[in-house]
Amino acid sequence: MAAVTAAQPRSSKTESYVDNKRKEDIRQANIKAARAVADAVRTSLGPKGMDKMISTANGEVIITNDGATILNKMEVLQPAAKMLVDLSKSQDAAAGDGTTTVVVIAGALLKQCLLLLTNGIHPTVISDALHKASTKAVDVLTAMAVPLELSDRESLIKSASTSLNSKVVSQYSTLLAPLAVDSVLSVVDPEKPEMVDLRDIKIVKKLGGTVDDTELVKGLVFDKKASHAAGGPTRMENAKIAVIQFQISPPKTDIEQSIVVSDYTQMDRILKEERNYILGMIKKIKATGCNVLLIQKSILRDAVTDLSLHYLAKAKIMVIKDVERDDIEFITKTLNCLPIANIEHFRAEKLGHADLVEEVSLGDGKIVKVTGIKDMGRTTTVLIRGSNQLVIDEAERSLHDALCVVRCLVSKRFLIAGGGAPEIELSRQLGAWSKVLHGMEGYCVRSFAEALEVIPYTLAENAGLNPIAIVTELRNRHAQGEINAGINVRKGQITNILEENVVQPLLVSTSAITLATECVRMILKIDDIVNVR
């Protein structure tokens, strides 16, 4: 009976006890799930990081070192852990490189937050302090940075090769880094120098050869062969190129219907009409002096028939068919010509001009190269070669990262040391700043500073060095005022990293810290998960 009376609600004058246990549990579960994701990619950080082999459900195998790719392919179910996947995606969009770094920093911050929460600090206090600390961190980084001119090609190549050093194709960085720099610089528009559209750099992958055979093509490359039907030309000098979006084949009826032909003479008449129709089109094309046709893929009917190919070959016109619709914009921009949607609009001024269009044998297939384009638009093509598909795909991802690094430098022209130097310097300066702050805030900022040490720690750990000794020595060097001292992974000791040419764009570091902090603050603010059926 006594138990029943105890369960009676108390009088409304006193506060009733609210169970906060569930909220703490949910917060802990979120943090643990997100840290598990961060730990999964931690081993692939830095030049000595390991690669991950990803096996997808449909049996496809991917070998990669790129944090964004690894997390993209992972099937993460926990909602808070999904936020880390989105975090690496947003870093990929903002800076292009540092996708692993941003997740590792977020994981370390969460670990520190868990300690602070256990000590009874309120999540909102932690969140505000993190925000303050990240703003301060960006200021510290900006003060450390070294300004850079775009004419300084050497520095651009250094930062691109630093980005490539942690990839599978690192031994080819001497070839790929200058290639990335040249391709970005060739698409920079002098009127809008800070805007670089990476869609203006087309990457064509072709199996065969090694990564050494990768080249930058000033012009266009089509990963298909020219049409050989009826012995058409496969090489054309002083080419006049037309990009057409209509079909050179007999017209079809608009609706599904069949025409019954009962008589041979009618049959002949139909064939004759077809021939005349195609011949009429080809005469109009030939009249403008056009000698290379790029024909867009068609879904309604065949873009070209055997008959039209035969007549085109007789007219000595080179044909490249099945051009993808998505490529049309890039092609017209490169050739400085206009796509032609109808035979009636076929005029000489819509054609593009090039010195040479030829078919080249590469590996087991053939490609068509267009070089010496007159008034070429600001685009460029990179032809990637490799011994197997995995290497080619990884080379493409690595090259994309290198291109993004150069793009960051074009938009924000500051360099910063790599090798864990900026993180340790941040940790030192924020630690000193936390002593000035009062109350809980100083405590939280100190935790933020400690969390940043995870980057040099992980770099040392992945390189097989003693992480504790290395990080302690690194702190000591920075305390003596050597701002650019960092971990030299190749020598296994601490050196001035700027002299070793290990540099990265400022934008990569600042966006990594701001994005990671933002993500951690979001996770901290969540205190319940509600499933809606």
200 assigned to active site? no
Asked whether 382 and 201 are in contact (CB, 8 A), the reply is yes
Cα dihedral 469, 470, 475, 478, rounded to 10, equals: 140
Task: Identify the active-site residue in 69, 92, 97, 100.
Answer: 100
Q: Which of 370, 343, 357 is nearest to 245 (CA)?
A: 343
Q: Which of 463, 374, 131 is nearest to 471 (CA)?
A: 463
Strand 318-323 with 292-296, pairing: parallel
CA 42 to each of CA 35, 119, 280, 293, 413: distance values in angstroms, whole numbers, following the listed order:
10, 27, 65, 51, 29
99 assigned to active site? yes
Length of the chain: 533
Asked whether 524 and 123 are in contact (CB, 8 A), the reply is yes
100 assigned to active site? yes
Q: Which of 323, 356, 102 is nearest to 234 (CA)?
A: 356
- What string of DSSP letters covers 248-310? BS----SSS-------HHHHHHHHHHHHHHHHHHHHHHHHTT--EEEEE--SSS-SB-HHHHH
Contacts of 456 (CB under 8 A, 6+ apart): 419, 420, 423, 424, 470, 471, 474, 486, 487
* DSSP label at residue 470: H
Contacts of 1 (CB under 8 A, 6+ apart): none
Task: Identify the active-site residue in 99, 101, 162, 379.
Answer: 99
Asked whether 461 and 395 are in contact (CB, 8 A), the reply is no
User: What is residue 8's three-state secondary structure?
Assistant: coil
Q: Can you tell me the distance from the alpha carbon of 122 to that of 261, in angstroms, rounded to the nearest whole number?
A: 86
* C-beta neighbour count of 78 within 10 angstroms: 16
Task: Identify the active-site residue in 92, 97, 182, 401.
Answer: 401
Q: Which of 394, 381, 414, 400 is nearest to 156 (CA)?
A: 414
Asked whether 340 and 244 are in contact (CB, 8 A), the reply is yes
Q: Can you tell me the distance from the alpha carbon of 120 to that of 471, in angstroms, rounded to the nearest whole number?
A: 29
CA 483 to each of CA 50, 392, 457: distance values in angstroms, whole numbers, following the listed order:
28, 38, 17
Tracing tokens 């593009």 back to the chain, one arrives at: 352
234 assigned to active site? no
- Phi-psi domain of 188 (left: phi exceeds 0; alpha: psi -120 through 50; beta: other): beta
From the number of C-beta atoms within 10 Å of its C-beta (0-12, 13-18, 19+), residue 508 rates as buried
Phi, psi angle pair for 186, to nearest 5° = -80, -15
Phi, psi angle pair for 210, to nearest 5° = -125, 180
Active site amino acids: 66, 99-100, 401
